[in-house]
Homo-oligomer: A and B are copies of this chain.
Amino acid sequence: MARNITPREKDYSQWYLDVIRAGELADYAPVRGCMVIRPNGYSLWEVIQRHFDEAFKDTGHVNAYFPLLIPSSFLEKEADHVEGFAPECAVVTHAGGEELEEPLVVRPTSETVIGHMYSKWVQSWRDLPILINQWCNVMRWEKRPRLFLRTSEFLWQEGHTAHAAKEEAVEETLRMLEVYREVMETRLALPVVTGEKSEAERFPGADNTYTCEAMMTDMKALQAGTSHFLGQNFAKAFDITFQNKDGEREYAWTTSWGVSTRLIGAIIMTHSDKDGLVIPPEVAPVKAVIMPISDDEKALSETFEPEAMELRDRLNALLGKRSVKVDTQYHMRPGDRFFYHLQRGVPLRIELGKKEYESQSVRLVRRDTGEKTDVSWDRAPETVRQLLESIQKNLYTRALEFRKANTHHVKSYEEFKNVLETRGGFITAHFAGTREDEKEIKSETTATIRCYPMNGQSRGTCFYTGKDDAPLAVFAKAY
């Protein structure tokens, strides 16, 4: 156990912050609730971005950029939207040395200003669909900030699409939910339950909200991404209309969907351990680090290091530019050098010491299991590739099994409260209660409906109201 990391079972929140600090992922900024994403955290975000961006482009989306500042009157055009977001807004009242005529809010999300622009761009059915995504910063003032999970400013992507037909917009909403699930599971190694949110948990202004819910190692749920079917609500508020094939004017149907730097929090709380950060190879900025180790400075510079550089180049040719680094922090003791990269979550350590050098081999040490493999220089690249695949698979499987082991089905409210108290985790239960029932359950237990799962065809008796033919819901305490 690392001395600079609080044991998880002692204080989960402190463990989380210790992992971030030891991995140099982020810092609190001088402005309350805001964060600085340090290079180790940002490079992780860059890889996450790349995977999602590629998936968005593969499904026909293009990127654009809309303004940071939104006239406050825009927010007020959609009643639910302003109610949901106005209390969290940061407001610009002065600019260029003068007081503004109308205050401007720093975007908490961009449905309104994008709706305004779409109304100008869309005239005919031929202008639809519009499939635009934006990568940007947004601001939602936080009273209880937490690095990556809840900060006043965060980075995200927000997709905003407009369609001629309702079915197309619904299809898009579900397509992007599926894109999210796919990238989260295959790249971030985050198993997620996808499903529909209850009315109470919907995005302000949406007709339906779909979500990806992941289980953290403290068994709490984390909402990892959401996809919203906005119906014609924003089209009506911002007059996004088009002339259909019959020459009639119609309102468009819109969607929006987003994932954020919160995903870094999800990776930390899913994969990391008592020693600190663990990053799945598919999103690791540095997949492996090669360590020349010797007391003999001459041997280091003349034989070990050149050999390490040569291996690095061969590995990078296989795994991608800058995937593998050579550690040359020779002023540190080997153990400290190991620890340095271990706490930064590097999936694989490659040791090249005297013994290895003499046998023309390297020692590979897995971050996830600590398992060691000796392999010849010739076979090293292929073995490294295989081990990285194996680590990726192991992290996903471990997380999935953890979720399965900590998901329980209940049939009564007594059982619900008992399981939540004694075992925690996800609780599946048939539920046909009202919004008020849900509120009641939340206030008594702090658990909320995370979603009605997509594949939940199962119907049964409501655990709370006793009503028949209730759909299946997943409940949990959540971040």
Contacts A37-B64, A46-B63, A92-B92 given; indicate if A30 touches B132 (C-beta within 8 A): no
Q: Are A137 and B136 in contact (CB under 8 A)?
A: yes
Query: Nearest Cβ in chain B — how far from A136, in angstroms?
Result: 7
Contacts A132-B39, A153-B68 given; indicate if A27 touches B96 (C-beta within 8 A): no
A103–B95 Cα distance when bound, in Å, is 12
Q: Mark A18-49, 1 if CB is under 8 A from B, else 0.
A: 00000000010111001111110111011000
Q: Are B87 and A91 in contact (CB under 8 A)?
A: no
Query: Nearest Cβ in chain B — how far from A337, in angstroms?
Result: 14
Residues of B within 8 A of A136 (CB): 137
Contacts A27-B120, A91-B95, A120-B27 given; indicate if A42 touches B68 (C-beta within 8 A): no
Name A84-115 residues within 8 Å CB distance of B: 86-97, 103-104, 106, 113
Q: Are A143 and B37 in contact (CB under 8 A)?
A: no
Residues of B within 8 A of A34 (CB): 67-69
Q: Are B62 and A141 in contact (CB under 8 A)?
A: no
Which residue of B has the minimal Cβ distance to A45?
A: B65
Which residue of B has the minimal Cβ distance to A88?
A: B96
Verify if A74 is at the interface (C-beta below 8 Å from B). Answer: yes
Query: Nearest Cβ in chain B — how far from A446, in angstroms?
Result: 23
Verify if A339 is at the interface (C-beta below 8 Å from B). Answer: no
Verify if A71 is at the interface (C-beta below 8 Å from B). Answer: yes
A57–B42 Cα distance when bound, in Å, is 14
**CB contact between A70 and one of B31, B45, B68 (< 8 Å): that residue:** B31
Q: Are B96 and A29 in contact (CB under 8 A)?
A: no
Q: Are A141 and B65 in contact (CB under 8 A)?
A: no
Verify if A155 is at the interface (C-beta below 8 Å from B). Answer: yes
Verify if A322 is at the interface (C-beta below 8 Å from B). Answer: yes
Q: Mark A124-156, 1 if CB is under 8 A from B, else 0.
A: 001000001000110101110000000011010
**CB contact between A116 and one of B30, B35, B57 (< 8 Å): that residue:** B30
With a 10 A CB-CB cut-off, give which of A42, A113, A137, A322 has the most chain B CB atoms: A42
Q: Are B104 and A95 in contact (CB under 8 A)?
A: no
A143–B42 Cα distance when bound, in Å, is 34
Verify if A317 is at the interface (C-beta below 8 Å from B). Answer: no
Verify if A117 is at the interface (C-beta below 8 Å from B). Answer: yes
Query: Nearest Cβ in chain B — how far from A248, in angstroms?
Result: 19
Q: Are A64 and B92 in contact (CB under 8 A)?
A: no
Verify if A330 is at the interface (C-beta below 8 Å from B). Answer: no
Q: Mark A311-332, 1 if CB is under 8 A from B, else 0.
A: 0000000000010000000010
Q: Are A31 and B69 in contact (CB under 8 A)?
A: yes
Verify if A66 is at the interface (C-beta below 8 Å from B). Answer: yes
A71–B30 Cα distance when bound, in Å, is 8
- Those 6 A-B pairs whose CB atoms lie nearest each other, nearest first: A96-B141, A39-B62, A90-B95, A37-B65, A34-B67, A29-B67
